[in-house]
């Protein structure tokens, strides 16, 4: 992907989205269920789309909300449904639509006081807290968010009583039911917002303080306070904007929020690599504003709009998510003595092999799973994994007691963990990663995108090892060709090819007409270039011959 000439620069006015048009399209554009791109489609984390493209409109939200009600009835889930949303322009109208449907279906709802924004991990924490404390019937939740996607997008995620992203069987049931009723969405029951809010089954819930008051159980906030770590935070206009100052006040942290603005056009952002507005806290281009302030703080961090991702900024700059995952794992498993000695490490198959080397040194099992945080839910819930992380800057870990904290990604605790690491070791995560490189080598990691049609993406999902006849990759013998994840034998929706010193994985995008190739080399950049070149040739040949 070529670097846009304005990448990392403030958004020029002509690239700002037309928010009134976007919201109007939510109500006026009616999707055509006969067009695949306009149907309900749950990817790795819910349904996403844009009202301007007919892929995220009132009809979708009505249909998905009713489908979730049907799913709850089928699964006998009768407890409260915790409802959250982020700061995207389409989240507010979708939140209203969902609330009206859930109230019409007599769902016991928990909405934020004042209908304010609620981050994804806060909903997960609320579900688990209710259920762990013996709450019956069991609770579940919905978060209305397209994560870090551009301002034009909307999204809808369902978290069952396990607290994390719904598994494939659940999302398939919800998706199929939603598409079945999408053609008659206007005939489905709803109640007006005012009546829905006055319904005796709808109650306000103080999400913020329930979450903030519990944070000391998962991160050593006293150590951060005692060390006087000076922290900078940029919420990137997301749902955490009202959380950071209460956290600082509650735990006496030296913390400055550098940007308190909420603007659905996200006009305060700097453009991402491709010139789009994208609140990706793992991108140095999107995080350019906070990176420029790095010398003012001991450590700084940002989050995406629904706060399930983290971006750690040290004096050296933005830390790669893969690098931070390896450091966090090494630190946590040495500094959480109450965790089970059998608790393993969860990683996605496109995360760095540095994690495997850290895990081997720790004597901990490394469970490699397909892309998607849903694969970590059961492990975090049972405590069989102490940490689950994705290369895309999403992770969560157990309470200090070894009990589950969230089973969805939590950007807040990963941010605060970076401050704990600095407070207790005197060194920031970037310095500690440099130590890992001295010990295990210095890997080069990259992701590239290539164009692919819908049919080609379907072929890629169904590839088998036999479709790749090559015996070597970048001059090394191939030791594994994987279409199923080693930890659970679940289909990876693509292919991973491994050698002694490198690997690549190819998988289709769930939202764009591209496929993604992830690759890593423990040799050097030239070796990585060779892996990527041969990987693209292998995949292209497999797609042509299929």
pLDDT at 436 over 70: yes
- pLDDT the model gives residue 135: 65
Q: What average pLDDT does range 495-519 have in this prediction?
A: 89
Rounded to the nearest integer, the mean pLDDT of the chain is: 95
pLDDT at 285 over 80: yes
- Characterize the bridge pairing of strands 140-144 and 230-234: unpaired
What long-range pairs does 112-116 form, CB within 8 A, spacing at least 24?
112/83, 112/84, 112/204, 112/205, 112/207, 113/204, 113/205, 113/206, 113/207, 114/204, 116/242
Is residue 118 within 8 Å of residue 112, measured between CB atoms? Answer: yes
Is residue 148 within 8 Å of residue 90, measured between CB atoms? Answer: no
Give me the CATH topology for the region 443-545.
TATA-Binding Protein (3.30.310)
Q: What average pLDDT does range 510-531 have in this prediction?
A: 90
Q: What average pLDDT does range 249-262 have in this prediction?
A: 98
* Tokens read off for 170: 């659940």
Instruction: Give per-residue pLDDT as tens, 330-352.
Output: 999 999 999 999 999 999 999 99
List the chain domain ranges.
17-211, 443-545
* This prediction's pTM: 0.96
- pLDDT the model gives residue 450: 84
Architecture of domain 17-211: 3-Layer(aba) Sandwich (3.40)
Catalytic residue annotation: 147
pLDDT at 511 over 70: no
- pLDDT the model gives residue 546: 60
Residues near 468 by beta carbon (within 8 Å), at least 6 away in sequence: 481, 495, 497, 538, 542
Q: What average pLDDT does range 4-31 have in this prediction?
A: 97
């Amino acid at each position: 992907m070529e670097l846009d000439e304005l990448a990392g620069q403030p958004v020029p006015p002509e690239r700002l989205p037309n928010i009134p048009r976007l919201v109007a399209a939510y109500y006026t554009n009616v999707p055509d269920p006969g067009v695949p791109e306009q149907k309900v489609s749950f990817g790795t984390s819910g349904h996403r789309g844009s009202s301007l493209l007919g892929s995220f409109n009132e009809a979708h939200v009505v249909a998905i909300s009713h489908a979730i009600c049907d799913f709850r009835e089928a699964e006998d889930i009768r407890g409260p449904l915790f409802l959250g949303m982020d700061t995207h322009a389409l989240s507010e109208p979708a939140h209203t639509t969902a609330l009206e449907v859930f109230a019409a279906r007599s769902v016991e709802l928990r909405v934020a006081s004042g209908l304010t924004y609620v981050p994804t991990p806060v909903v997960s924490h609320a579900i688990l807290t209710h259920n762990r404390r013996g709450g019956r019937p069991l609770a579940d939740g919905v978060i209305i968010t397209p994560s870090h996607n551009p301002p034009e997008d909307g999204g809808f995620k369902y978290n069952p009583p396990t607290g994390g992203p719904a598994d494939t069987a659940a999302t398939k049931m919800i998706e199929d039911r939603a598409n079945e009723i999408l053609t008659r969405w206007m005939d489905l029951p709803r109640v007006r917002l005012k009546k829905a809010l006055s319904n005796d089954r709808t109650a306000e819930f103080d999400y913020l303080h329930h979450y903030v008051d519990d944070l000391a159980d998962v991160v050593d906030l006293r150590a951060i306070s005692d060390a006087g770590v000076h922290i900078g935070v940029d919420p990137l206009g997301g749902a955490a904007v009202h959380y950071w100052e209460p956290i600082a006040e509650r735990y006496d942290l030296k913390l400055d929020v550098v940007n308190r603005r909420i603007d659905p056009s996200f006009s305060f952002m700097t453009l991402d690599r491709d010139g789009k507005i994208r609140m990706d806290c793992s991108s140095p281009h999107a995080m350019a504003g906070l990176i420029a302030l790095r010398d003012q703080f001991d450590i700084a961090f940002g989050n995406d709009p629904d706060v399930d991702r983290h971006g750690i900024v040290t004096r050296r700059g933005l830390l790669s998510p893969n690098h931070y995952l390896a450091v966090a794992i090494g630190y946590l498993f040495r500094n959480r003595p109450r965790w089970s000695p059998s608790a393993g490490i969860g990683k996605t198959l496109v995360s760095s092999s540095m994690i495997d080397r850290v895990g081997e040194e720790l004597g901990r099992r490394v469970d490699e799973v397909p892309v998607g945080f849903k694969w970590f839910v059961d492990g975090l819930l049972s405590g069989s994994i102490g940490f689950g992380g994705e290369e895309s800057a999403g992770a969560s870990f157990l309470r200090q007691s070894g009990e589950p904290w969230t089973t969805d990604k939590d950007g807040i605790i990963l941010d605060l963990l970076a401050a704990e690491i600095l407070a207790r070791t005197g060194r920031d995560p970037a310095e500690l990663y440099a130590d890992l490189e001295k010990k295990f080598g210095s890997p080069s990691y990259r992701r590239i995108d290539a164009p692919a049609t819908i049919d080609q993406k379907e072929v890629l999902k169904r590839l088998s090892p036999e479709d790749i006849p090559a015996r070597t990759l970048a001059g090394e013998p191939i030791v594994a060709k994987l279409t199923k994840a080693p930890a659970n034998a679940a289909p990876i929706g693509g292919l991973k090819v491994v050698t002694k010193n490198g690997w690549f994985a190819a998988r289709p995008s769930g939202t764009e007409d591209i496929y993604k190739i992830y690759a890593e080399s423990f040799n050097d950049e030239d070796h990585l270039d060779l892996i990527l070149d041969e990987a693209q040739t292998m995949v292209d040949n497999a797609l042509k011959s299929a």
